[in-house]
Amino acid sequence: MAIEQPEPRVWNGLFWVIQLFICINAVAKSFLQESRGRMLYFYSIASPSDFVLAKLLFNSLLMLVMSLLSIVLFSLFLSNPIQKAGPFIGLVLLGGWSLSLVFTFLAAIAAKAQQNAAIMAVLGFPLIIPQLLLLMKLSNAAFNPVLTIPLSTVLLLVALDVMIIMLAVILFPFLWRD
Amino acid sequence: MTNNINTKRTAWWKILCVALLVYTFIAGLLIKVPNLPLLGQTSRNLFFHVGMWMAMMTLFTVSVVNAIRYLRTFNLRYDIYSRQYATVGIVFGLLGYATGSIWMSYTWADPNNPLFKSFSALAREPKLIGAAIALLIYFAYLVLRDSISDIDKRARIGAVYNIFAYAMLFPSIWIVPRILPSLHPGQEGNPALELKDVNQFMRMVEWPAFIGWALLGVWITTLKIRLNLLKERKLMQ
């Protein structure tokens, strides 16, 4: 490996950047790969809010599995500097969930705009940076036995996620009709 | 005919805007400001620098309100409103950066360090990054909206992204920078709005200045909207 045992901060930074790219690639497919005919079929059998909730749920589960996999791979290949495994895994799951929610909705927008996946990155990067900053900041505490993870920030992230779900349910019907 | 009535009815706030801005420039440069260490006389920039951000937030808020109005009525006029308010908001954001960098060069820049070295420390400011994110989000909105050729689809997708982006914008420029350490004032509470931050004379200039700049932004946007409505009408015919 190019970097054998990176410092905890580097490990953390690398981990979240890779999470971001995993998410873009995994979630973008969910909308961009659907053919027109299949969308029409979904349109006839389900209401838009059910459809978007199902998509959000599926992508959340997919991203949670991916997050766990990438923790395992990271600790196998780049050693394991994590001091508090429990909180770190919790944060990673929360982060994966947040990322998947934001990018699912952006994928819906990008698919409707009939653009390629590149526009998703343009739309998504500025939106996701604040959450990613918070997640990196929080998970830095998991590498240091002295620091504690502030609960208020975790709650802030959860509140953001709930807000994204609500916005998706409210706004998706407008994207859906054609 | 109707034009005449309209100009009479809407002219008062333009006069107010000019009056407030003239007052801002005269009073803002002449009143006595407390001579604090480090800050010195640069605190006069408060009326200009913070005013730009206030105008930007006002314009972005009006833009999102118009996006909601579009989704409720599907009247394309509101889509044009929404886009133009976002564009002018970006201009005010860039002006906020410009005034901020002038202020920064007198207060934060370390005279003992070469310019690029002190710059690399300042570029990591969470507040600067937060504002850059806000501008990038609206640039992305413009890219998305203008890349779609179908008028109705463009308006609908643009409005959806606008609302979504605005909801995500608030955490990035109001909450996150307060959690991270920063040199910029306003770690706890609202900078320049709290009683302890500003003395009473400055307050008498501060609020008129904010309202004046916001009105100027709205004024510029109404001109752009009129131009675009005319263009659109030409396209329709």
- Of A91, A90, A116, A96, which Cα lies nearest the Cα of A22? A96
Range scoring the smallest mean pLDDT among A81-90, A113-122, B21-30: A113-122
Query: In this structure, are residues A168 and A56 in contact, taking their beta carbons and an 8 Å threshold?
Result: yes
Q: Hey, what are B101's tokens?
A: 């960098």
ipTM score? 0.86
Residue A127 — very low, low, confident or very high, per pLDDT cuts 50/70/90?
Answer: confident
Domain boundaries, chain B: 15-236
Residue A29 — very low, low, confident or very high, per pLDDT cuts 50/70/90?
Answer: confident
A113 interaction partners in chain B (CB closer than 8 Å): 144, 147-148, 153, 157
Q: What's chain B's length in residues? A: 237
- Mean pLDDT value across chain A: 85
- Rounded mean pLDDT of A146-159? 84
Asked if residue B58 has pLDDT above 80, the reply is: yes
**Which chain A residue has its CA at the smallest distance from B134's CA?**
A126
The per-residue pLDDT for range B132-172, each reduced to its tens digit, is 888 999 999 998 888 888 888 889 999 999 999 898 887 77
CA of B185 to nearest chain A CA: how many angstroms apart? 19
Q: Hey, what are B25's tokens?
A: 């420039």
- Rounded mean pLDDT of A8-30? 86
Give the Cα separation of B7 and B228 in Å (integer).
19
Range scoring the smallest mean pLDDT among B85-89, B123-127, B206-210: B123-127
Query: In this structure, are residues B144 and A119 in contact, taking their beta carbons and an 8 Å threshold?
Result: yes
pLDDT at B115: 59
Asked if residue A5 has pLDDT above 80, the reply is: no
In this complex, which of B129, B161, B180 lies closest to A137 when CB atoms are compared? B180
The per-residue pLDDT for range B109-143, each reduced to its tens digit, is 666 666 556 666 666 777 788 888 889 999 999 98
Domain boundaries, chain A: 8-176
Binary contact (B148, A113; C-beta < 8 A): yes
- Mean pLDDT value across chain B: 80
Residues near B185 by Cβ (< 8 Å), separated by ≥ 6?
Answer: B191, B192, B197
Asked if residue A74 has pLDDT above 50, the reply is: yes
Q: Which residue has the tokens 């954001």?
A: B93
